[in-house]
Structure 1
Amino acid sequence: MSPPPSRWTDLDRPPLSAPALRAALVGRGGPWTRIDITDVTGSTNADLAAAARTGAAAPGTVLVAEEQTSGRGRLGRSWSAPPRSGLFFSVLLDPEADGVPAERLTWLPLLAGVATATALARAAGVDTALKWPNDLLVRVPGPDGAGGQDAERKLGGILAERADGGVVLGIGLNVSLRADELPVPTAGSLLLAGAAGTDRDPLLRAVLRSLGQWYGQWAEAGGDPAAGSLQSAYAAGCATLGRRVRAELPGGGELRGEAVAVDGDGRLVIATGPGARQAVAAADIVHLRAT
């Protein structure tokens, strides 16, 4: 009998090399002190938080999974994809030890969005927009691949969680998923968005370098999003601003109006009527069609 096919035999999706990533990123002036890769896990955020609790992980640790089966997004949503089809990783940072006041930590997932979008524009040649507060969007061509209307699809998500020793910041990105592999019709991937390449190694290096640079600037500014240009960069890349939205609030209730700004605390400001504005710190945002 022939052996069962290995899930590592897809030559279009080669495995990442931990030694190569360490050589390129650890001790290169950024925050990264350790990079580990696991074949498969439920959630890199959960694993890294557990390691931080036991002292097995220190700030600067990066944990990457080739396959993540129970990744977690906001509001308890799950995140999963075929092996080696995306980038699924978490980093442990300690912003307060780096001079960022606790009240500024709400900017960390927004910072991660800016850093990731910047990196993907350079490394993949794909324009990535930000949906407040923690989604990354791409445009995917219509069904005919040319003349059809481009669709706004979710490329990835970001989740920041407090942990012993700092904050665990998780990022998940669909890289080489084909149309028949998408978990939901509203999902997208770099491949479907026409990326110049889907080799995960240079993409991961680019994202981690960009994240390290933006984090360093933010920490140097004491977490002030205006002083470090983070607030303006986020506003420039945020697809939510200028759109009519429905904000589904925690615990029920909703707001409708135009998203007009992201304030100094990272909250989304919604104009709900003439002269009426309301800032929301947490909500599930739905982009509404123009009427």
Structure 2
Amino acid sequence: MTPNDPSDNPWSDLERPPLNAASLSRALVRPESLWTSLEVVDSTGSTNTDLAARAARGEAREGQVLVAERQTAGRGRLERTWTAPARSGLFLSAVLVPEVPAERWSWLPLLAGVATASALSRTAGADVVLKWPNDVLVRFGDEERKIGGILSERVERPGGPAAVVLGIGLNVTLREEELPVPGAGSLALAGARVTDRDTLLRAVLRSLQEWYGRWRDADGDPEASGVREAYTAGCATLGRRVRAVLPGERELLGEAVAVDDGGRLVLAGGEGVQQPVGAGDIVHLRPGPEGA
């Protein structure tokens, strides 16, 4: 980005006004709230990278939220990077310190998916579903397009318990010509009734606080907290034939039949053999020879 880049000017695109940081802080940072601070920056490489570095230095407490109007090196799973025009989406990360058994932390990105999808469905009126493990999709017509993703990273903190930096990236007003890859989408392209980013950010963070509170109060139990039931109901992967591309370029074909206690996707292959998948890329297959 050059000093004369018009995207430096927050009013260069009147359809994409800047976030109102003061108003958001007043609405979200309260004595009874999970959120202890909310900072909005004009541009950064990655909000997750920034907050993880603060946490590793012992400078971040639970409930800190960092939002960027623009990310130049946004990160997804498997170290993938992506960028988007300034003020075209929501790019945020939050620090959480879950006082639950560490083996249940794998539910955090799925929990964040439930919170995000329910907030967008309720607030924007979009038909939002989840793709295991961390993709947020929107349905319009006969298509499912990816509008966002979630990244969860464990960070060791000096002199204190480990933290999780939870990142959420969502395409809000991207236009067709701005989409980074085929299969991407945005809330605006899906005809969402609300694309005001302040409204959407408040909804997502309030929903995340609610679901995180339920999960934490249940000691991270996905069943008792209702997280597994909600995730199963909103996951477009379950019940479909999929291809799982695993580390080492191995592949598995099967029907996605369940999410197990560890948040892993369970595939049913030939002769009823079931296998859990904890990491990898999942491709939804269309009916036909490819999925046979």
For the residues of structure 2 that align with 1:225 and 1:218, how far apart are their CA atoms? 7
1:59: Cα distance to partner?
Answer: 1.1
Q: Which residue of 2 aligns with 1:105?
A: 105
Q: Which moved more, 1:239-248 or 1:53-62?
A: 53-62
Structure-2-length-normalised TM-score: 0.93
For the residues of structure 2 that align with 1:130 and 1:52, how far apart are their CA atoms? 29
Paired residue secondary structure (2:258): strand
Tell whether 2:248 aligns with 1:245.
Answer: no
Tell whether 2:150 aligns with 1:158.
Answer: yes
User: Is the contact made by 2:119 and 2:204 (CA closer than 8 Å) also made in structure 1?
Assistant: yes
Residue 226 of structure 1 aligns with an amino acid whose one-letter code is E
Q: Which residue of 1 aligns with 2:166?
A: 169
Tell whether 2:39 aligns with 1:36.
Answer: yes
CA-to-partner distance for each residue in 1:142-161, whole Å, 9 max, x for gaps? xxxxxxxx321101000000
Tell me: CA distance 1:4–1:170, structure 2 relative to 1, closer, same or farther (3 Å): closer
Aligned residues between the structures:
278
Q: Which residue of 2 aligns with 1:147?
A: none
Residue 112 of structure 1 aligns with an amino acid whose one-letter code is A
For the residues of structure 1 that align with 2:212 and 2:262, how far apart are their CA atoms? 17
Q: Which runs of no fewer than 5 residues in structure 2 stay unpaired?
A: 158-162
Residue 136 of structure 1 aligns with an amino acid whose one-letter code is V
Tell me: CA distance 1:277–1:89, structure 2 relative to 1, closer, same or farther (3 Å): same
1:30: Cα distance to partner?
Answer: 2.7
For the residues of structure 1 that align with 2:90 and 2:250, how far apart are their CA atoms? 34
For the residues of structure 2 that align with 1:152 and 1:28, how far apart are their CA atoms? 40
Q: Which residue of 2 aligns with 1:280?
A: 277
1:25: Cα distance to partner?
Answer: 0.5
CA-to-partner distance for each residue in 1:237-278, whole Å, 9 max, x for gaps? 000001000000112211101000001110100001122110
User: Is the contact made by 1:49 and 1:164 (CA closer than 8 Å) also made in structure 2?
Assistant: no
Paired residue secondary structure (1:180): helix
Q: Which residue of 2 aligns with 1:214?
A: 211
Pick one of 1, 7, 10 that aligns with 2:9.
7
User: Is the contact made by 2:70 and 2:91 (CA closer than 8 Å) also made in structure 1?
Assistant: yes
For the residues of structure 2 that align with 1:248 and 1:235, how far apart are their CA atoms? 21
Q: Which residue of 2 aligns with 1:122?
A: 122
User: Is the contact made by 1:70 and 1:79 (CA closer than 8 Å) also made in structure 2?
Assistant: yes
User: Is the contact made by 1:7 and 1:83 (CA closer than 8 Å) also made in structure 2?
Assistant: no
Structure-1-length-normalised TM-score: 0.93
> Which contiguous aligned blocks of 4+ residues in structure 1 show a shift greater than 3 angstroms?
3-7
For the residues of structure 1 that align with 2:271 and 2:232, how far apart are their CA atoms? 22
Residue 257 of structure 2 aligns with an amino acid whose one-letter code is V
Pick one of 201, 205, 221 that aligns with 2:202.
205
For the residues of structure 1 that align with 2:177 and 2:198, how far apart are their CA atoms? 24
For the residues of structure 1 that align with 2:50 and 2:222, how far apart are their CA atoms? 30
CA-to-partner distance for each residue in 1:162-197, whole Å, 9 max, x for gaps? 113400000000000010110112100000111002
Q: Which moved more, 1:3-12 or 1:65-74?
A: 3-12
For the residues of structure 1 that align with 2:33 and 2:237, how far apart are their CA atoms? 31
For the residues of structure 1 that align with 2:164 and 2:263, how far apart are their CA atoms? 17
Tell me: CA distance 1:273–1:201, structure 2 relative to 1, closer, same or farther (3 Å): same
For the residues of structure 2 that align with 1:101 and 1:4, how far apart are their CA atoms? 47
Tell me: CA distance 1:271–1:24, structure 2 relative to 1, closer, same or farther (3 Å): same
CA-to-partner distance for each residue in 1:105-141, whole Å, 9 max, x for gaps? 0000000000000000111001111000000001244
Q: Which moved more, 1:6-15 or 1:83-92?
A: 6-15
Tell whether 2:162 aligns with 1:182.
Answer: no
User: Is the contact made by 2:129 and 2:236 (CA closer than 8 Å) also made in structure 1?
Assistant: yes
1:58: Cα distance to partner?
Answer: 1.0
CA RMSD of aligned residues (A): 1.2
| Percent of residue pairs identical | 65
Paired residue secondary structure (1:206): helix
Q: Which residue of 2 aligns with 1:89?
A: 92
